[in-house]
Structure formats: structure tokens, C-alpha cells
Amino acid sequence: MINSKKKLVVIGNGMAGINTVEQILKLTDKYEITVLGSEPHPNYNRIMLSYVLEGSKTIEDIILNDLQWYEDQGITLYTGKMVRNIDGERKRIHTEDGLEIDYDLALIATGSQSFILPIPGKELPGVIGFRDIADCTAMLEAAKTYKKAAVIGGGLLGLEAAKGLVNLGMDVTVVHLMEDLMERQLDREASAMLKAELERQGIKFAMQMQTAEVYGQDRVQGLRFSDGSELEADLLVMAVGIKPNIQVAVQSGIETNRGIVVDDLMKTSMPDVYAVGECAEHRGICYGLVAPLFEQGSVIAKHLAGADTEGYAGSVVSTKLKISGVDVFSAGEFITAPEHTVIVAKDEWKRTYKKVLLRENKIVGTVLFGDVSESASLQKYVRQQTLMTDEIYGQLMGTGCSKDGAKTLSAETMADDEIVCGCNGVTKKAIVDAINENGLTTVDEIKACTGATRSCGGCKPVVEQILQYVLGDSFKSAAKQGICGCTTLSRDEIVAAIKTKGLTTTREVMNVLGWQNDEGCSKCRPALNYYLGMINPDTHENEEDSRFVNERLHANIQKDGTFTVVPRMYGGVTTPEDLKKIADVSLKYNVKVVKVTGGQRLDLIGVRKEDLPKVWEELDMPSGYAYAKSLRTVKTCVGSQFCRFGTQDSMGMGEVLERKFERLDFPAKFKLAVNGCPRNCAESCTKDIGIVGNDGGWEIFIGGNGGIKARLADSLCKVKTDDELIDIVAGVMQFYRETGQYLERTSEWVERTGLEEIQKAVVHDIDNRKALIERIEFTLKQLEDPWKKIIHNADSRKNLFEVVTPSMV
Amino acid sequence: MIKHAEWLIVGHSKDFPNRIGRTIRLNDKEIAVFRTSENKLYAVENSNPHPKGGPLTESIVSGHYIYDPLRDWKIDLETGLVQDPDTGQVKTFDIREDGEEVKISL
Ligand SMILES: Cc1cc2nc3c(=O)[nH]c(=O)nc-3n(C[C@H](O)[C@H](O)[C@H](O)COP(=O)(O)OP(=O)(O)OC[C@H]3O[C@@H](n4cnc5c(N)ncnc54)[C@H](O)[C@@H]3O)c2cc1C
Ligand code: SF4
Ligand code: FES
């Protein structure tokens, strides 16, 4: 058979070109495809170069389509081939090195290049852009030999480059012409918050500085600014913008402006020649992000496959900065103008900022900083110019209680061909089909199957919503997994088996219950060790090797590998003598920082591992268990001893409770607070157990949390006497110890178990309360101060803490 | 090529307990040594391949894998390779027991 396929030649092997090809292949096989790319690599995810530079990905990780893929698809690929021009008369493409290729249809997808400022010295070695693998490798190399880097440009690209270079250990200054960072995506407020955060992460800034010249002998040595001042740098990254690659079009007589001019079907002025991606200019706009390129590619694909398509009408772009710990999002119109109605929430304590702009009550733009959990819904509202309603307002600005319901709804109403994952061009339909056809139940499976969430991760919340919406009720049961990847058994099944089968060690549990991974993992081993100890408090032998480092070494590990020591201070009360001792020991062992914690104690931060036992010995104080899944602190207010409002002795009660229940293991860390009166100065509402004194007794609250999952405590009951108070506290603690899942805080436990269940078990059922108290008392008897124990045990002192230093090398 | 191994004595067998890492400091270099349940010794550079580093000695040991204490990365002691979904590789060293002497080759 004579080949009846039409020849499609793609110029540019980048993200837009290959994505268009992928979309074409999904719709039709009537093209014989050839791809020419000037880079020596197969198609890779340019977005992720930031991660390569930052060190969390390698070049191999970011390859999107390897050479095998091209072969499997029957695509002829030329890498390292630069196209010179298109001969529209003969329908032939010419490369720089003399190759000629005939086409029926041609697609220009040549992207853009870094814009290099036209200043003296720009051609010195060490001056580069941030665009491709070559630039990225150049930076990685430079960081090995040089120390000082400058990045010109405080936009998305410049900041990501700067963060990467900081991670590589360089001293980095970002030079920015404007007053605000990312001024094309953020407003002044968000920009200032961003700058503060990045400074915290080690990036320096030279704002409102215009670079006049790059100086250096054989290599860049520094910059000179227009005001005459200088900045030393032995690497200079220019990230001031991009310039569409239009040479091929220019050489071929195709109409260009800033980019290659295209119509709504992405056709250029030359018949049968299309353009897509950053090189294309549509209705006056050249887009510099991937999401629009995929929308353009989809139009071309449908058109070339002969399917109906409406044509490309432009995109609403949104931005996400890929720097860990810095969440920034913006979409649509974000600079306030007189015609906008603005909704703003700024929280300097949580360092969050949220702004939504309305025009004629329609949502037209947004800026988020610090908390971007609403970005998915907001992006959709902006794109669809949704009318603001009370419901949406509540969802965005309210307490967030109705969040789940509203979100599921948005996945449901989303159009099939709406792109969910902008980075990888995955539509809602593709995800829904993948779930239905392959029986997927997790985001990871969807990632492996469709590529969604594979890049910046910004789309993950929406992917989760779609999963939830498609699976409906079966979502929960499908998501029902074992306590970790090593087993399919749940916490309750394991605890029951330990009891009925009389299992005594983690190893035994794993053997008998058929663990897939012989020795378990960092998730199940500590959990099993806890359950075993909770069930058999007298006979269980704590397994050091199944404890997370903090609990094994009885100190908090810090990011540099040093440790923090926190002595106990019962009820947050100390003495001048103890303070003096703490000060002396801190000086002697070079403690880096002495910090007052949120729980009213002193952190001695930065102790070397090998010094820990000596520090404990010399402090001669009990361990504060600041590192453990255990009773941490009992926060107290001043109370009736001194406070003019106090009706109960909160300091006294705090101390009693802390002394009684210290050293007890819990499923997760455990905090108490005791207040002398309802003014609640010690903030009981965010503690696992909060106690508030009143005129005739105490009120007990449980399940509060000020951490990851902020939650106000529920009122459990009121009691009249101190004894009753201690009994109820003991009952709640033991009930939680016995029924909580490992790492589950009481805030989650109370919600899962139900307040009424707990009231029944601890408050109303007196016999049960007694039994709980008996068991907790029995456990309390077994406990010993870990610091003392180690000080007196030469073996564990040596094996756990000492560093071996062989004398001769 | 034959590697000219120079073995350095770093301690006694009983200094290296099961599934608990130990740090060895040589000049300015730190090495983390682990003994697995199968009684095999492994030595790796005591520094997480993550760009921000961090110690490895305090990891949880499971088979010939460790879970690092700062980020819970899973690392193969045999090859030093970081397991999915994270990436990277930590330097490994030869270590052996000669009678009751533990020796390392750098
Ligand atoms: C570090 C970095 C981070 C980024 N982060 C994000 C992000 O978080 N989110 C986002 O949406 N976007 C991001 N982007 C932008 C995104 O990568 C681009 O928008 C996208 O890659 C553009 O696709 P394209 O196909 O148009 O161009 P490219 O991907 O650049 O592909 C063009 C290809 O054509 C080749 N070529 C050029 N001229 C010729 C010729 N004459 N002959 C043959 N081949 C030629 C080039 O070598 C190149 O490989 C980032 C970009 C960079 C550099
Ligand atoms: S809670 Fe009441 S008793 Fe305690 S310090 Fe505040 S006002 Fe005083
Ligand atoms: S949008 Fe970036 S990974 Fe999906």
C-alpha cells in the first residue's frame, strides 16, 4: 500500500510541540510525524528544571517522553537539529546543516529563549539565562567552584533560580528593577510577604537597582549598577524575561510581531503552517506558562483530526511559585482598580494573605499567600467569572466548616474538557476515564496513569476531589488501607490480634500477622511498639530500635543534627536556683539558643549528641518529654495564688497533674492547660485536655488543638472537687491511650469517637471509669525517668550517644 | 583495577548493636555504621543526600534499608540509593569484621 498518511513536521521538541503531538495521536493516526529539536535531549518537563536545580529531582526524572516513546509512536525524531526556514512554495523544511524535509503540514513550536540584557559584559563566561538543561547544568557546575551568585530579575523564574542556588550553598542576591517582587503576578501586600519569607530562607535582595554593566576579566566578577554601586558575583543568572523564538518564521516570510502571529485555529500567515506555545502570539498575547499551550495544542489536535472545535479564545493564567515552604498563587486580575470590589483577609501571625477581586459581583481575580488551599476553586471561579454568592463567600472566607461539601460539588460541575493539571495537560475527563477504566483509587495511581499532579503538584486538591466524586461512597472503603504499606490490617485488627494471640514483640506481630515487609517500616514499627506497651505495660520491653530518634535519644533532633533539651517545669513554674543551673549548663555546653517554648518551659537548643547525657546529669532535672508522644506540658495561668480574678489554684493543680501523669506514653503528644477562672489565660480551648476553674469547681474540655488541625475543645463535663477532676482526667487519658490510633491527636480522636461515647465511657459509666483508672495507675507504676536511666547505664550511654573517633587515620 | 584497600580499625564488634546506628568521626568526615538483623554491617556517609543534608545515624533500620530521621527518606544501605519517590545517593564504604575488630576502608 502506498503511504497515504499526511506528513506532519514539528519544529521544536519542547513542551508545547510534543504535547500537541500527544493530543493528535490520541485522536487520529492519519499523520506521519517528524520532530526536529535543537536540544540534544528528548522531550522533558522544562518546569521541573527548578526542581533539578533545587536538588529534589534529577535530569532523568524530568524526561517526559524517552526515545523509546518516539519509536513506539512511529515518530521520526531528530535531536540537535536546528531548523533554518520553511520553504512554503515547495513545502519543504531546511535545517542549518543542510537537511531537507518535505511536509504537508508544519507546526512551529520553537518556544522562547532567555532575554539577555543588552549591557556591556553580557557575553562574559559565567553569565547565563535559566531556560534549558544546559543552563541548569552550568549552574550546578558553577556552584561547585564559586560562592557568590547574582540573579537579575525578581519574577517567578529568577526567584526559583535563586532558591536553587541557595540550596546549592551559594550566597545569592536577587537584583530587581522594580519595587515589588513578582509584580506581574502579585500585589504589593503579597509581594512584601513573599520577600520577607524568602529572606528568611536565605536569599538577599537588591531592590530597585538597575544593572548598567557586568565586569570581569576572564569571567564575570560582579555587577555595576546605574547609581555606581557594585555587587560581587562569580555567577550571574539573567532571568529578566523571555523572547519568543521567531527566527524560523522570520526567515520564511511568515508574519511576526513579538511572536508568530496566529489566528484562533493557531494558523500562521503561511498556508498549512501552524504555531503553538511560547513562540506564538494570539490576539496580541504571547503566553509564558504551560497551561495555555495545552489549550492551544488541544485546538490544533482537534482541528487536524477533523473534529469540531471552537477555536482558541485565550487563557486565564495562574501562577504558582515552586519554592518549598512558600505558597503563592495568583490568577486573573490582581491589581486593585477603582471598579473592583475587593475582599481581603490578611493575617500577619499566620503569615497568610487572601484577596479576591470582584467586578460587577463577578469573581475576576485572586491573590493568595501562605495558604493556597482555595486555589483550585478560585482558579475555576476566575475562569468562569462566577457570581459571588453567600455560599462561595462562606467557603472562601468563612470558618471552612462546609468546605468538603462545596468542593465535591465543584468537581461535579466541572466541564469534561476542562484542564485539571495545567502542567501536564490532563483534562477532567481523562482522569475520570482513568479511574473508571482502570479501577484507580489513589492520587498516586492517577499520577502514574495520566501524569496529573506529576509536576508542580498544584492540581492535587482537584484530583482528589474528582477521585472522591467518581468513587462516591466507595471512596472511603477503597481508601481503607492498613496502618502502613507493610500490612492491610487496621489498627483495631492489630490491637485485637495482639491481645487474643498474646503477641509480645514487634517482630512477632509482623511474623504472625503476615507483614509484607519483614522488618516493617518507619511507620508501623513505632506504632506497634506503642500498642504493645499500652497493652502490656508491665511486661513489654520497649524496643529502642523501633522508636523514632527523638524518643530513642530523649531529645528533639534539629535540622542540623544537634538536639534540644527541655527540662521539666511542673505547671510552667521554676525557681531561681533551677534557672541558675540551666544558665550554667547552657554556657558550659555552648547551647546555641535558650528559648521559651509555647508550653511555658525552656528549650536548650543545639546540644551535640555526645553531650546529651552530661547535660542531663549536670542539670539534674527530670526530662520534660518535649520529644515524645507523651504528656508534654501542663500550661497554667497565675490563678488564685496571685491573680485578682482567680477562683481556683491553677498553678497548684497544674503541678499535681503534671507530676502524676508525666512519662506516660500516648498515641500522640498530649498537652494540658489549667486556668483559675473562665478568662482562660492559659488557653485551654486548644489543649488535649483543658481545665477551667469556676466558683464551685472545674469544667473540663477535651480535643482542642492549636497545631496542624486547629480545633476548639469540647466541654466534657463539670466537676465539683479536685479528686473528681483528677479521676476524669485519668479516665480520658486512658480511654484515649486504649482506643486512639498511633499519631492520632485527640482533636481527631474526639471527632472519630464522638463526644458522647467518651462521656459515656468516662463520665457516666462509673465502673468503667474505675477500671480505666486502675489500668492507668498500674501503668504509671512502671515508669522511670529516662534521663536518669541513661546516665546510669554505661552501655546505652556509649552505644546511643558516643561518637567513635579512631585515633590514627 | 584492583583497589588498594587500607583497612582502619574503628572498634570492637560489640560497639555496634543491632539496628541502632553509630557515628564514626574521622577527621572532618562522619560515617554512620549500621548492623542489620542479619548481622551484616554497613557504613555510609553520615549525611543525607537531600540538599539540606542532615545526619543518618539516627535512622530507623529495616532490613538493609534505613529511614532517615529528618525526612523519612528510605535509603538502601547496599547501594546508597534513595528509594522512590525521593532521589539521590549516599556514599557507601566497605566495612568488615575481622575477628572482633571492625574495620573500615575509605
Ligand atoms: C526554569 C523554568 C521554570 C518554569 N516553571 C513554570 C511553571 O511553574 N509553570 C508554568 O506553567 N510554566 C513554567 N515555565 C514555562 C514553561 O516551561 C514554558 O512555558 C513551556 O516550556 C513552553 O513550551 P514551548 O514548547 O512553547 O517551548 P519550549 O519548551 O522551550 O520548547 C521549544 C523547543 O524548541 C527548540 N527550538 C527552538 N528553536 C528551534 C529551531 N529553530 N529548530 C529546532 N528546534 C528549535 C528549543 O530547543 C526547545 O527545546 C518554566 C520555565 C522554565 C525555564
Ligand atoms: S484565667 Fe482567670 S485566674 Fe487565671 S490568670 Fe486569667 S484571669 Fe487570672
Ligand atoms: S498543575 Fe502542575 S502538576 Fe498538575
The model's pTM is 0.54
Ranges of each domain in chain A: 6-111+245-305, 114-243, 325-397, 419-450+465-474, 491-547, 629-784
Query: Which chain A residues touch B15 with a CB distance below 8 Å?
Result: 798-799, 804
Cβ–Cβ contacts within 10 Å for residue A502, how many? 11
Q: A344 pLDDT band (50/70/90 cuts)?
A: confident
Coil, strand or helix: which one is A74?
Answer: coil
The pLDDT, as a whole number, for residue A667 is 95
Q: In the predicted model, what is the mean pLDDT of chain A?
A: 89
SS (H, E, C) A360-416: CCEEEEEEEECCCCCHHHHHHHHHHCCECCHHHHHHHHCCCCCHHHHHHHHHHHCCC
| Nearest 10 degrees: Cα torsion A87, A88, A89, A91 | 80
Give me the pLDDT at residue A467, please: 86
Closest CA to A112 of A238, A210, A231, A258: A258
C-alpha angle A211-A212-A218 in degrees, rounded to nearest 5: 95
What share of chain A has pLDDT > 70, as a percent?
A: 96
- Say what the alpha-carbon torsion angle A187, A192, A197, A199 is, to the nearest 10 degrees: 130
Beta bridge partners of A568: none
- Average pLDDT on A424-442 reads 85
- Say if CB A599 and CB A632 are below 8 A apart: yes
The CATH homologous superfamily of the domain defined by A114-243 = FAD/NAD(P)-binding domain (3.50.50.60)
Residue A683 pLDDT greater than 90, yes or no: yes
A553 in contact with B, Cβ within 8 Å = yes
Query: In 10 A of CB A594, how many CB atoms?
Result: 14
Is any atom of ligand 2 closer than 6 Å to the C-beta of A214?
no
Distance A279 CA to ligand 1 centre (A): 9
Distance A242 CA to ligand 1 centre (A): 10
Distance CA A428, CA A335 (A): 30
Residues B90/B80, Cβ–Cβ less than 8 Å: yes
Chain A interface test: which of B41, B58, B74 (most A C-beta within 10 Å)? B58
Q: B50 CA to middle of ligand 1, Å?
A: 27
Tell whether the model's pLDDT for residue A405 goes beyond 50.
no
* Angle between helix A722-739 and A650-661 (nearest 10): 40
- Under CATH, domain A629-784 is a member of which superfamily? Sulfite Reductase Hemoprotein, domain 1 (3.30.413.10)
User: Cell for B81?
Assistant: 540509593
Q: What are phi and psi of A775, to 5 degrees?
A: -65, -35
pLDDT for the residue A34: 96
Q: Would you state the pLDDT for residue A488?
A: 82
Which residues of chain B neighbour A546 with C-beta distances below 8 Å? 60
Q: At which residue does the C-alpha cell 553520615 appear? A: B46
- Please identify which residue in the block is written with the cell numbers 466541564: A415
DSSP annotation string for A212-266:
EEEEESSSEEEEEETTS-EEE-SEEEE-S-EEE--HHHHHHT--BSSSEEE-TT-
Q: Which atom of ligand 2 is nearest to the CA of A680?
A: 1
The single-letter DSSP state of residue B48 is -
Q: Are A689 and A727 in contact (CB under 8 A)?
A: no
Find residue A691's DSSP bridge partners. Answer: A674, A700
Question: Is the CB of A458 inside a 6 Å radius of any atom of ligand 1?
Answer: no
Regarding the beta carbon of A654 and ligand 2, being less than 6 Å apart is answered no
Mark yes or no for CB contact B62/A517 under 8 Å.
yes
Q: Quick one: cell of A179?
A: 519595587
**If you average pLDDT over residues A489-502, what whole number do you get?**
89
Nearest-by-CA chain B residue for A797: B15
What's residue A671's pLDDT? Answer: 96
- The band of A406, judged by pLDDT with boundaries at 50, 70 and 90, is very low
The DSSP H or E segment spanning A106 is: strand A105-108
- CATH topology match: A325-397 vs A629-784: no
Of the listed ligands, the closest to the CA of A281 is 1
Nearest to A135 by CA among A212, A43, A39, A224: A39
Number of H helices, E strands in chain A: 28, 38
Phi, psi of B51 (to 5 degrees): -55, -25
CB proximity A608 to B under 8 Å? no
Distance CA A170, CA A203 (A): 10
State which residue of chain A sits closest to B14, comparing Cα positions. Answer: A799
Q: How confident is the model at residue A531 (pLDDT cuts 50, 70, 90)?
A: very high
Phi/psi of residue A420, nearest 5 degrees: -85, -50
What fold characterizes domain A325-397? Enolase-like; domain 1 (3.30.390)
CA of A20 to the centre of ligand 3 (A): 17
Question: Which residue carries 558550659 as its cell?
Answer: A588
Report the C-alpha gap between A231 and A224 in whole angstroms. 7
With an 8 Å Cβ cutoff, the interface of chain B facing chain A consists of: 8-11, 15, 17-20, 22-27, 30, 37, 50-52, 54-55, 58-63, 67, 69-70, 72, 74, 86-88
Enter the DSSP assignment of B26.
E
Query: Taking CB atoms and an 8 Å limit, are A804 and B52 in contact across chains?
Result: no
CB spacing of B51 vs A55 below 8 angstroms = yes
CB A751 within 8 A of CB A703: yes
Q: What is the pLDDT at residue A263?
A: 96
Which segment, A310-314, A586-590, B4-8, is predicted with the most confidence on average? A586-590
Nearest to A17, CA basis, from A425, A428, A331 = A425
Mean pLDDT (whole number) for A560-578 = 94
Separation between Cα atoms, residue A427 and residue A450, nearest integer Å: 9
> How far A107 CA lies from chain B's nearest CA (Å)?
36
Q: What is the pLDDT of residues A81-130, one digit of tens each?
A: 999 999 999 999 999 999 999 999 999 999 999 999 999 999 999 999 99
Query: For chain A, how many residues are written?
Result: 809
Q: Closest ligand 1 atom to the C-alpha of A290?
A: 11
Residue A493 reports pLDDT greater than 60: yes
Contact A275, A107 (CB under 8 A): yes
Lookup: cell for A51:
526542581
pLDDT tens digit sequence for A357-402: 999 999 998 988 888 878 878 888 888 888 888 888 887 876 443 4
In the block, which residue shows the cell 538597575? A210
Mean pLDDT of A486-508: 89
On whether the CB atoms of residues A788 and B10 are closer than 8 A, the answer is no
> Above 70 in pLDDT, residue A473?
no
Give residue A423 CA to ligand 1 midpoint distance, Å. 12
In terms of pLDDT, which residue wins out, A694 or A249?
Answer: A249
**Close Cβ partners of A171 (under 8 Å, ≥ 6 residues apart):** A147, A148, A149, A204
Residues of chain B with pLDDT under 50: 1-4
CA of A424 to the centre of ligand 3 (A): 6
ipTM: 0.88
CATH number belonging to domain A6-111+245-305:
3.50.50.60
**CA A346 to CA A715: how far, in whole Å?**
31
**pLDDT beyond 50 at A666:** yes
A195 backbone dihedrals φ, ψ, rounded to 5°: -60, -45
Cα A294 from Cα A224, distance rounded (Å): 41
Residues 6+ apart with CB under 8 A from A272: A91, A103, A104, A105, A106
Cell triple for A635:
500550661
For the stretch A143-153, pLDDT in tens is 999 999 999 99
Q: How many CB atoms lie within 10 A of CB A795?
A: 10
Choosing from A600, A681, A694 the residue with most ligand 2 atoms within 8 A of its CB, the one to mutate for a pocket test is: A681
H/E segment holding residue B29 = strand B29-35
Spell out which residues of chain B touch residue A168, defining contact as CB-CB under 8 Å.
Answer: 51
- Which member of B17, B22, B70 has the closest CB to residue A804? B22
Quote the pLDDT of residue A475: 62
Choice among A299-313, A334-348, A555-569 with the minimum mean pLDDT: A334-348
Q: Residue B59 has what DSSP assignment?
A: P
Residue A710 has pLDDT above 90, yes or no: no
For the ranges A314-323, A680-689, B43-52, which has the lowest average pLDDT?
A314-323
The DSSP code for A712 is: P
pLDDT at A410: 65
Q: Tell me the three cell numbers of residue B70.
A: 529528618
Neighbours of A436 (CB within 10 A): 11
Q: Is A50 in the pocket of ligand 1 (CB under 6 A)?
A: yes
Domains, chain B, ordered by start: 7-105 (2.102.10.10)
